[in-house]
Amino acid sequence: MAILEDPLRLVIGDKAAKPLEKALELRAVGDLMRHYPRRYETRGELTDLASLTDGEYVTVQAEVAKVTSRPMRNRRGSIFEATVTDGHGMLVLTFFGRGRQDWRERQLTPGVLGLFSGQVSTFRGKRQLAHPEYELLDAGEDAAHAAAEYAAEMIPVYPAAKEITSWQIARSVRVVLDVLDVEDPMPRAIRDRHGLCGLADALRGIHRPVDWADVQRSRHRLKWDEAFLLQVVLAQRRLAAAAYSATPRPRTPGGLLDAYDARLPFELTVGQQLAGAQIADELALDHAMHRLLQGEVGSGKTVIAVRAMLQVVDGGGQAALLAPTEVLAQQHYRSITEQLGPLGQAGELGGAETATRVALLTGSLGAAARRRALLEAASGTAGIVIGTHALLEEQVQFADLGLVVIDEQHRFGVEQRDALRAKAGEGRPHLLVMTATPIPRTVAMTVFGDLEMSTLTELPAGRSPIATHVVPAAEKPHYLERTWHRVREEAGRGRQCYVVCPRIGDGPGSVSGPDTEDAGQADTAQDDAEQAGGGRPPIAVLDLADDLERGALAGLRVAVLHGRLPPDEKDSVMLAFAAGSVDVLVTTTVVEVGVDVPNATVMVIMDADRFGVSQLHQLRGRVGRGRHEGLCLLVTEAEAGGKSRQRLDAVAATLDGFKLSRLDLEQRREGDVLGAAQAGRRSSLKLLTLLQDEDLIGDARKEAQHLVEADPALAGQPTLATAVRVLLEREQAEYLEKA
Ligand code: ADP
Ligand code: MG
């Protein structure tokens, strides 16, 4: 008998095991059992040969139509050709032999049905498989291929490789299934409640189904396994996190927070009040808060973060705010210092009595400024320390770190989160993670499943609407002219404009390329085949800025911003734009996250089809932040009706970030959404799809939560405990590989 953890070679032998490991990385019995068929051929139903494309490795079911054999012209040996058919199309199988190939001729006789596997190519206008592997489906002369092998009506077709064919995999699967002894990790009660079949049944049913119902039942159960296991891990993490002690920082009446609230020029929205209250309560507890705050672009997350930080400072601790880019760190520093006024000027003339200090720590600080910031953090003088990745460096120390706030989480991995938290010494700081990209519920449950969640759904009152239009620059060049005309009009009214390009371009003495400071989101549009512009490179900041200054926007104050500028120049450009002394900022996506200039009203996005849906939504959120209406123009040369255009139309049609993030998820590979930091998670989800299996994931989460609450160490569920251990080891291994 074999169990899932056994090495494959012990069960199927070295010879069969080797190609499985080499080509498909299947080492243990469980790996092979979770290498699921891609599809099923129904016995006797021929594969549509017209669907084949060159270069593909395929396994087709077809019937031999005719065969020919001839000697090779220049060498000894023969060429044997069999033409197979699906009833309409033809496919030529070519075999080269050293001698005569009579034996093949005896096997591949007209009328015989078989599975043929190889790489598709075209030779002299005919589709062919050169030297395919094959397996005949009729119990013909060769008794080894007898009926027993293909007793089932449904023939699984596996993801295969050059080294190993689908039916070789199928054969190993059968050997394993015959000796497999699985214990079911899922508690009986849960299976019963959700009508799930046993694991042994499900594995048999997915590999050797009797009918479609069998496949469905088995898949459903195996999806549950994936969701449930992951949720058990997350539930354990939540529980473990809750057990970490933290210093309670209850609200202090008459402290900085009260003074800050009194200074606020607006009322908090209901959502802000609710989220704020949740956070305030959790900060007062003696175990660490782990909360995700998600909200639409412009919903006012920063204020919530500042209020949480001040509560901690009032309680004698420090707070660190981690931002993904230098531009954003600078902006936070400026706006928070400004909002605090005298409350942030401890030790300065005019500083309030209870005041604290705000320090900024980024990679580009001069030596003196850096030393000062490090000192303020280490001594505790700075209650609030804002920074980029530089905050994670070893030299950075805090006197008493009580709260870590991470802005725009999607750019940080779990390990960075932990690196910063580790600076709190004993115990743990409270943690607040903010994400600007609204995430569908299931993704939140899967990727951020170890965090509690607050969501801001409304925007502050008085926000002006944003109108979005697609500008089809190829079909209607005059629309582009009109775009620049609009920019001039807005500038004439004293307002400002962003023009975003996908690329920096060739500055003097530097190479061309995408903006490196913006290493965050994978740009899915990038490899979209029907993308605009054919072979031309994407529009570049430096080129366009030059053109506009000389042409369409002559006379306006145009500045450029991108990740290759020296940091202090970046900062001064941003400052100038914020101060209104620049009319038009031509920039890369460094402005994507968080940048807040209320006087900016127009966002022009060039080659908009090169950006992902969520990214466009983020960019658009940079305008319409003040009293004036926002306008977002998506300039593209992508063809009307094509996929890229549909994506842009969708962005133009709604301002609902949650809707758009679902769309984004549909269009990206799931692995990209789960993110690089979640490598193990990616490979553990084989059948589960985050969008379609929402209910299932929700149910699995509830069950997992109950189970783990009652039995945190899974002492009563040894099989489940083993499965969890295997998952974690794998996640760990993949993480190390990546690092
Ligand atoms: P985001 O959630 O995208 O990070 P911000 O925190 O940058 O949004 O807030 C966007 C703008 O809205 C800021 O200028 C902020 O001062 C302002 N703001 C925040 N909350 C409110 C509110 N309740 N009423 C009015 N304006 C607000
Ligand atoms: Mg923000």
Q: What is the 3-state secondary structure (H, E, C) of 285-316?
A: CCECCEEEEEECCCCCHHHHHHHHHHHHHHCC
pLDDT value for 640: 87
User: pTM for the full model?
Assistant: 0.69
Find the 272 Cα to ligand 1 centroid distance in Å.
Answer: 10
Atom of ligand 1 nearest to the CA of 407: 4
CB of residue 82 inside a 6 A radius of ligand 1: no
pLDDT value for 513: 45
- The predicted-structure confidence for 611-637, as pLDDT tens digits, reads as follows 988 889 889 988 987 788 899 999 999
pLDDT value for 414: 62
Atom of ligand 1 nearest to the CA of 339: 16
Residues with pLDDT less than 50, the chain: 141-152, 508-513, 516, 518-533, 671-682, 739
CA nearest ligand 1 atom 19, residue: 300
pLDDT value for 302: 92
Find the 306 Cα to ligand 1 centroid distance in Å.
Answer: 12
Distant-in-sequence, close-in-space partners of 401: CB < 8 Å, separation ≥ 6: 317, 318, 319, 320, 423, 424, 425, 429
Find the 298 Cα to ligand 2 centroid distance in Å.
Answer: 7
Distant-in-sequence, close-in-space partners of 713: CB < 8 Å, separation ≥ 6: 721
- The predicted-structure confidence for 134-177, as pLDDT tens digits, reads as follows 888 765 544 444 444 444 468 888 888 878 888 889 999 999 99
Find the 496 Cα to ligand 2 centroid distance in Å.
Answer: 20
Find the 624 Cα to ligand 2 centroid distance in Å.
Answer: 14
Beta bridge partners of 407: 434
With contact defined as beta carbons under 8 Å apart, do 47 and 86 qualify?
Answer: yes
CB of residue 299 inside a 6 A radius of ligand 1: yes
Find the 685 Cα to ligand 1 centroid distance in Å.
Answer: 37
Pocket test for ligand 1, best of 264, 270, 303 (most atoms within 8 A of CB): 303
From its phi and psi, is residue 219 left (phi > 0), alpha (psi between -120 and 50) or beta? alpha
CA angle 475, 477, 481 (to 5 degrees): 150
Q: Among all ligands shown, which has an atom nearest to the Cα of 299? A: 1
pLDDT value for 41: 78
pLDDT value for 422: 77
pLDDT value for 307: 98
Atom of ligand 1 nearest to the CA of 301: 2
Pocket test for ligand 1, best of 266, 335, 405 (most atoms within 8 A of CB): 266
pLDDT value for 411: 57
Selection from 362, 299, 355, 352 nearest residue 331 by Cα:
362
The secondary structure element, H or E, covering residue 385 is: strand 382-387
pLDDT value for 734: 63
Query: What are the strands of the beta sheet with 430-435, ordered from one edge?
Result: 357-361, 382-387, 318-322, 401-407, 430-435, 290-295, 452-456
pLDDT value for 141: 44
CA angle 472, 478, 479 (to 5 degrees): 45
Pocket test for ligand 1, best of 302, 321, 591 (most atoms within 8 A of CB): 302
Find the 606 Cα to ligand 1 centroid distance in Å.
Answer: 27
